[in-house]
Chains A and B, each alone.
Chain A
Amino acid sequence: MQIVVDLNRCQGYAQCVFLAPEVFELHGEEALMYEPTVPADQRERVRRAVAACPVQAILSGEQAVADVR
């Protein structure tokens, strides 16, 4: 599972930081930092964070080109 956060949209509500603190953290007052490659044991927490984001800025999905042929 990969994630990317649209940081134009992110306003630092930090719901993701509460729900998945090992993947998301606030760097300074409101800059969000995150791990784009989600560790297997964090996937459920990240799913909750994706759903809870008030501005729906987090996209999760399989790594692009998983369907390479």
Chain B
Amino acid sequence: MSGEPRGGRIVVVGASLAGLRAAETLREKGFAGELTIVGDEALPPYDRPPLSKQVLLGRVRARDVGLPRRRAVDARWRLGTPAAGLDTAGKRVLLAGGEKLPYDRLLIATGTRARPWPNPGEAALDGVLTLRTADDASRLAGLLDAGPRRVLVIGAGFTGSEIASACRERGLEVTVAERGPAPLVGALGGTLGALAAAQQRAHGVDLRCGVTVTSLRGDGGRFAGAELSDGSRVDAEVAVVALGAVRNTEWLAGSGLAAGPRGVACDAGCRAFDMYGIVTDDIFVAGDVARFPHPLFEYQMLSLEHWGNAVAQAEVAAHNMVSAGPDRRPHLAVPAFWSSQFGLNIKSVGVPTFSDQVVIVQGSPQERRLVAVYGYRGRVTAAVSVNRAKWLEHYQSLIESGAPFPPGPGAADGPGPPLSPVPSAVPDPAVLSHGPSVALTGHLPDRRLAVVHHQDG
């Protein structure tokens, strides 16, 4: 490590949840040096989960979702200024304006952005938008306020499903087009996907599964409708593109780090790997942009787009940035996330996509309340509750202890037929899917490596 652990210059690139919590933790752990936080958005750090819920329902304004701070961070904030490059040999971050920020240690927390509609001309139509930022949410809430005759949601992952839910709650007609066999399949597999499909239809969503949107039609520059792959057409006034996220790693091209479309690879202590798989000791990674090995999931490299992971990983990264080797900690938190949609509160622990079977251990889809436990090769790897959050904690302990799957009796909430696991029907991790909130990338190299030597001028 260069310089004193608690002194020197630290640059944090990324001013959202992970960047903020890392900066706070750095100060809490005694970092007394110079701290600079770089963010591409002009707004102070804000919370994204309310954007697809309270904000779309019109209960909270998009500009009122600012995050509370845990403590003062005494930092220089460079907001509205994207990072454009990284010189690892010269230890400098290049900003979009051309300025160079020198660092002794660097934290990469640049997160993700919404995957744009692939056709730029169609994406530019008035009424076509994505939902990731507060500005996006403000625009979409405004369009919904105007009372469009129909909203088309493209993609039924968590974000798309929450948007559709908000639209129905506001009394708006919604068509949802999903490439997979059901909503949420990319993250939760077939059993809960079937429940989500039934729930969407019960709430009046025009749900079309197994189709893709082939083109968006405009009328005088305004979005007017879409063509689907089954030959049908949908007339709508608003189209929300909810095709998942793209990791913000382009600024690291040529940096020599192991950075690509699936994130920036790092070790269990959040230290970035370079492109040869050699760990760095001055560059750390946290949040949605990180891919890290997790021992509970066979050391596969996981990329998690989860609120809780951003917080936990930022805390570990910051701790390790100001600690000498033996005092460093691994990031071992069990992944967890939530979603609320169509009257269902869905909570997940573990990694549901890391599974081959699933079994409903409590409740039932008919009751709209249940716990589903996922297993991989005879071991419990995840659990998902629907409207029964209090039941979930028990299953987290089964995941942490590698308990056998299916879980033994005693977990069921009443006498009944023996548990019968079924295939979990999650997408093959080798197949890229637009919707998963977890990317398992352990055995899949992103790209061919090229050896590049930089001569710094």
List A residues at the B interface (Cβ < 8 Å): 1-4, 6-8, 10-12, 27-31, 33-37, 59-69
Q: How far is the CA of A60 from the CA of B336 in the complex (A)?
A: 22
Q: A36-B64, A61-B68 are in contact. Are A68 and B44 (CB under 8 A)?
A: yes
In the assembled complex, the Cα of A46 lies from the Cα of B44 at a distance in Å of 22
Are A67 and B72 interface neighbours, CB within 8 A? Answer: yes
Chain B residues within an 8 Å CB radius of A1: 68
The prevalent SS among residues of A at the interface is loop
Query: Judging by beta carbons under 8 Å apart, are A8 and B387 in contact?
Result: no
Contact pick for B59, options A35, A59, A67, CB 8 Å: A35
Q: A15 to B134: give the CA distance in the assembly, Å.
A: 29
A37–B42 CA distance with the chains assembled, in angstroms: 18
Cβ 8 A contact of B73, one of A10, A36, A67? A67
B54 contacts A35, C-beta separation under 8 Å: yes
Q: Which of B45, B311, B345 is in CB contact (< 8 Å) with A64?
A: B45
Q: Which 10 A-B pairs have the closest CB atoms?
A: A61-B68, A31-B340, A65-B44, A2-B68, A37-B64, A31-B345, A64-B69, A28-B343, A8-B336, A64-B45
Closest B residue to A10 by CB, please name it.
B389
Please report the C-alpha to C-alpha distance between residue A11 and residue B49 in the assembled complex, in whole angstroms.
Answer: 17
Task: Name the contact of A6 in the complex, choosing from B66, B73, B308 (C-beta under 8 A).
Answer: B308
Q: Which A residues touch B70, using CB under 8 A?
A: 59, 61
Instruction: Report how far A61 CA is from B69 CA in the complex, Å.
Output: 6
A59 vs B184: C-alpha distance in the bound complex, in angstroms? Answer: 29
**Contact present for B66 and A30 (CB under 8 Å):** no
Which B residues lie at the A interface, using CB under 8 A?
Answer: 20, 44-45, 47, 49-50, 53-54, 59-60, 64-70, 72-77, 79, 307-308, 311, 336-338, 340, 343-345, 347, 369, 387-390
A8 and B44 form a contact (CB under 8 A): no
A62 lies within 8 A of B54 (CB): no
Known: A29-B387, A33-B53, A64-B20. A2 touches B345 (CB 8 A): no
Residues of A within 8 A of B79 (CB): 65
CA A30 to CA B392, docked complex, whole Å: 13
Q: Which residues of B contact A27 (CB under 8 A)?
A: 53, 340
Given A12-B389, A61-B70, A62-B69, answer yes or no on A4-B47 (Cβ-Cβ < 8 Å): yes
**B337: which of A8, A33, A62 is its contact (CB, 8 Å)?**
A8
Given A2, A28, A33, which contacts B344 in the complex, CB threshold below 8 Å? A28
| A28 close to B340 (CB less than 8 A) | yes
Q: A63 to B47, alpha carbons, bound, how many Å?
A: 11
Residues of chain A within 8 A (CB-CB) of B60 are: 35-37
Query: Using Cβ atoms and an 8 Å threshold, which residues of chain B touch A30?
Result: 345, 387-389
Q: Would you give the shortest CB distance from A34 to chain B, in whole angstroms?
A: 8
Identify the interface centre among B44, B69, B307, B390: most chain A CB within 10 Å of its CB: B69
A-B contact pairs, 22 of them (CB 8 A): A2-B66, A3-B68, A4-B68, A10-B389, A11-B389, A12-B389, A29-B343, A30-B345, A35-B60, A35-B64, A36-B47, A36-B60, A36-B66, A37-B64, A37-B66, A61-B68, A63-B66, A63-B69, A64-B44, A64-B68, A65-B79, A67-B72
